[in-house]
Amino acid sequence: MAKGKNAVVFFCQECGYESSKWMGQCPGCRQWNTFVEESVPVRAAGGSSPSGQTKNRPSPLSEISLEEEDRISTRMSELDRVLGGGLVAGSLTLVGGDPGIGKSTLLLQVCRNLAEDEKEVLYVSGEESLKQIKIRANRIGDFNAHLKLLCETSLDSIEENIRRTGPDVVVIDSIQTMYRESVSSAPGSVTQVREATSVLLQLAKGLNISIFIVGHVTKEGTVAGPRVLEHMVDTVLYFEGDRHASYRILRGVKNRFGSTNEIGVFEMESAGLKEVLNPSEFMLSGKPEDANGSIVVCSMEGTRPMLIEVQALVCHSNFGIPRRQTIGTDFNRVNLLIAVLEKRLGLSLGSCDAYVNIAGGIKIQEPAIDLGIAMAVVSSFKNKTIDNKLIAIGEVGLSGEVRGVSMIQARIQEAAKLGFTTCVIPYVCMESVKEVAGIKVIGVKSVKEAIQLL
């Protein structure tokens, strides 16, 4: 790196947009007043490659061999699934999430498992003291000597440590606390975070170390400040969930080594995070029996079906304008479904308030829950209970037709596994469905047909 000269650049602290002059509104993310002056070191052209070597020769693709043991199991099957089958050696993984959601706990547990498998693990914390980490560790369980802790925020010192000890896995607990002395901006600023990540990227690729980076999330739901971070790493995982509910969902947003959209479900207990191997059962616990306005639907999270309860409450509106509210699903979609029910089924919902809730605090956007929402709304409106053992799957179109959904077989099997006896699905999917023991499958062409089943 060329020494001495620093250039002054303005960065949007929300999205990392770079500009040579200050601006009131960021052209990148349209946020106001987010530009901060930072000085970046002027570099000599060139730089080094991600593999850490300065001179690289092209190699024939056919001769590059992949060994099976390139993937390490974290011994948490939920995490392995989200990572695409285990941790890849030499990968850089970003774990984002709100403060207090359990990122440090999760990674400490991963460290313990890996250390038990005789991997050398280094946990670097820039946020907590050794004692604080020890207190958390005591709640989680026993740790062996393969796990080393380091409380440090200077990247130069961390880099030196990593190069000297050569660990297999490194955790950097929070990228926002790390700083590099040669960069004059404050820790957490775009320049620092970007610089820190590029140093870690080179360490990961050059020394074949798997590195986890913890990143805090802003209230908009992106990793604080720089979204640039997401472009640099191999895998981005978000840890989400209601802080007040005990379950947590780990979601893959980007994965260079596997599919995204996979989720892992965990539960926060007094001794750390526990994997929830059967999330459907977990989500349906506490479902009321014989209550009207409640129905079970099935949503796919990646390749995994998940049964969820949808609740609706429809009551007479006391004001001229009916109130509509949704929790856990798209507001506009629910409004649209209510309009379809009004027009195609002739229900006078115009004078009614309607509330729709996805139980368990989970958020579902998949259109396959449309039919369930529509049936729940009608059930509440007509005060008719829906059979406890019935599940509804299907997307609803504007003409009131029930449209096909993907992976219908997996959804029906999940329903059968949890003891449901009737499954209402789109008629167009009937052909592709194979018989599943213990569950009756009914194909419907329209919402009207589905409502007649109530």
- Residue ranges that bind ligand TYD, judged by CB under 6 A: 97, 99-105, 136, 139-140, 268, 270-272
CB of 133 to Mg ion, least distance (A): 10
Residues linked to residue 294 through DSSP beta bridges, in sequence order: 311
Task: Residue 139: name its binding partner from ligand TYD, Mg ion, none (Cβ under 5 to 8 Å by kind).
Answer: ligand TYD
| Element at 250 (helix H, strand E) | strand 247-255
- Structure token digits, residue 68: 């099976």
Could you give the CA distance from residue 434 to residue 413 in angstroms, rounded to a whole number? 10
CB of 104 to ligand TYD, least distance (A): 3
Cβ 153 to ligand TYD shortest distance, Å: 16
Strands (E), 270-365: 272-275, 294-301, 304-316, 324-327, 352-358
- Per the structure block, which two tokens stand in for 432? 């592709």
Name the binder of 97 from ligand TYD, Mg ion, none, CB < 5-8 A by kind: ligand TYD
Q: Which residues, 6 or more positions from 61, have their beta carbon under 8 angstroms from its beta carbon?
A: none
Q: Rule CB under 5 A: say whether 93 interacts with Mg ion.
A: no
Among the listed ranges 24-32, 102-110, 232-240, 408-416, the one in contact with Mg ion (CB under 5 A) is 102-110
DSSP string spanning 171-212? EEE-GGG-B-TTS-SPTTSHHHHHHHHHHHHHHHHHHT-EEE
> DSSP assignment, residue 341?
H
Closest CB to Mg ion belongs to which residue? 104
Q: How far is the CB of 268 from ligand TYD (least distance, A)?
A: 5
- Provide the sign of the torsion angle of the four alpha carbons 177, 182, 185, 191, taken in this order: negative
For Mg ion, the closer of residues 103 and 146 by Cβ is: 103
Which of 91, 104 has the CB closer to Mg ion?
104
104 binds Mg ion (CB under 5 A): yes
Pick 213 or 368: Cβ nearer ligand TYD: 213
Q: What is the DSSP letter of 2?
A: -
C-beta closer to ligand TYD: residue 233 or 296 = 233
CB of 43 to Mg ion, least distance (A): 32
Shortest distance, position 297 Cβ to Mg ion, whole Å:
35
Q: Which is nearer to ligand TYD, 34 or 105 (CB)?
A: 105
CA distance 274 to 266: 5
Given the rule CB under 5 A, which of 69-77, 96-104, 145-153, 343-351 is the region that contacts Mg ion? Answer: 96-104
Q: Which is nearer to Mg ion, 104 or 292 (CB)?
A: 104
How far is residue 405's CA from residue 394's CA, in Å, rounded to a whole number?
6
Least distance from C-beta 125 to ligand TYD, angstroms? 10
* Residue 422 structure tokens: 């009737």
**Region binding Mg ion by CB under 5 A among candidate stretches 101-109, 236-244, 311-319, 328-336:** 101-109
Q: Does 326 bind Mg ion (CB under 5 A)?
A: no
* Region binding Mg ion by CB under 5 A among candidate stretches 18-26, 103-111, 204-212, 429-437: 103-111
Spell out the residues 6+ positions from residue 261 whose beta carbon is closer than 8 angstroms to its own: 251, 252, 301, 302
Q: Which residue lies nearer to ligand TYD by CB, 75 or 445?
A: 75
The token pair that represents 85 in the structure block: 């089958």
Give the span between the Cα atoms of 210 and 167, in whole angstroms. 9
| Residue 452 partner contact from Mg ion, ligand TYD, none using kind-dependent CB cut-offs of 5 to 8 Å | none
Cα–Cα dist 394/416, whole Å:
17
Count of CB atoms situated within 10 Å of the CB of 227: 18
Cβ-based nearer residue to ligand TYD, 78 or 401: 78
- Cβ neighbors of 5 (< 8 A, separation 6 or more) are 41, 42
State the nearest-atom distance from the C-beta of 83 to ligand TYD, in Å. 18
Q: How far is the CB of 200 from ligand TYD (least distance, A)?
A: 18
103 vs 411 by CB, closer to ligand TYD: 103
Distance (Å, whole) CA 369 – CA 307 = 10
Which one, of 19, 88, 25, lies nearest residue 255 by Cα?
88
> Where does this chain bind Mg ion (CB under 5 A)?
104
